[in-house]
């Protein structure tokens, strides 16, 4: 049986995943405003992924007989100095998500809640991917620096990113 405090912590994470979608839509909007449609697309796809993460927890709580509740959201940062600044913000955000997932995992381990420990393993793996992706892009952006050809090639590459929802 999933206890109420672990269930509440999972529900909080569901809401934080939706907040992540909100953060990435704010960055997408900044990129759109800069006429960087590829970068905007990258962050819109990222927002879709975050909604998928939220729905994964939604389904899990339902499967465990728990009632999901939706929370209000903070205003994300809407202004950035550059795309590098936006990616650095995204990377810091993902590091915070990782901290929260680890905390959830600690709670599940303290409760010896094996199904939840197993469920969270997917999120732990996902965070390794997310952090690695943002770190790589930040390094590329730093190397590109003022090379506008390389920068616009990156924008074109990001225009191709799509979201294919996996099974929940
Ligand atoms: Mg996420």
User: CATH code at 20?
Assistant: 1.20.1260.10
Number of domains in the chain: 1
State yes or no: 94 annotated in a binding site. Answer: yes
In a domain, 122, yes or no: yes
In a domain, 79, yes or no: yes
Q: How far is the CA of 123 from the centre of ligand 1 (A)?
A: 8
Domain that includes residue 19, residue range: 4-159
In a domain, 72, yes or no: yes
This prediction has a pTM of 0.96
In a domain, 165, yes or no: no
CA-to-CA separations, 48 to 20, 41, 44, 56, 57, in angstroms, rounded: 10, 11, 6, 12, 15
Buried b (16+ CB within 10 A) or exposed e, 81-113: eebbebbbbbbebbeebbebbeebbebbeeeeb
State yes or no: 17 annotated in a binding site. Answer: yes
In a domain, 129, yes or no: yes
Encode pLDDT of 26-76 as tens digits: 999 999 999 999 999 999 999 999 999 999 999 999 999 999 999 999 999
State yes or no: 53 annotated in a binding site. Answer: yes
Q: How far is the CA of 48 from the centre of ligand 1 (A)?
A: 10
In a domain, 164, yes or no: no
In a domain, 167, yes or no: no
State yes or no: 49 annotated in a binding site. Answer: no
């Amino acid at each position: 049986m999933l206890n109420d405090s672990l269930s509440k912590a999972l529900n909080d994470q569901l809401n934080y995943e939706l907040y992540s979608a909100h953060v990435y839509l704010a960055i997408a909007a900044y990129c759109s405003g800069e006429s960087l449609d590829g970068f905007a697309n990258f962050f819109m796809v990222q927002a879709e992924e975050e909604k998928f993460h939220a729905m994964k927890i939604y389904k899990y709580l339902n499967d465990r007989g728990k009632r999901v509740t939706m929370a209000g959201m903070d205003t994300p940062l809407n202004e950035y100095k550059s795309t590098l600044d936006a990616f650095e913000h995204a990377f810091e955000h993902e590091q915070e998500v990782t901290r929260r997932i680890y905390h959830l995992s600690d709670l599940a381990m303290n409760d010896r809640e094996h199904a939840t420990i197993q469920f969270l393993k997917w999120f732990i793996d996902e965070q390794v991917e997310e952090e690695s992706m943002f770190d790589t892009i930040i390094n590329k952006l730093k190397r590109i620096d003022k090379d506008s050809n390389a920068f616009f090639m990156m924008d074109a590459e990001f225009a191709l990113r799509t979201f294919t929802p996996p099974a929940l």
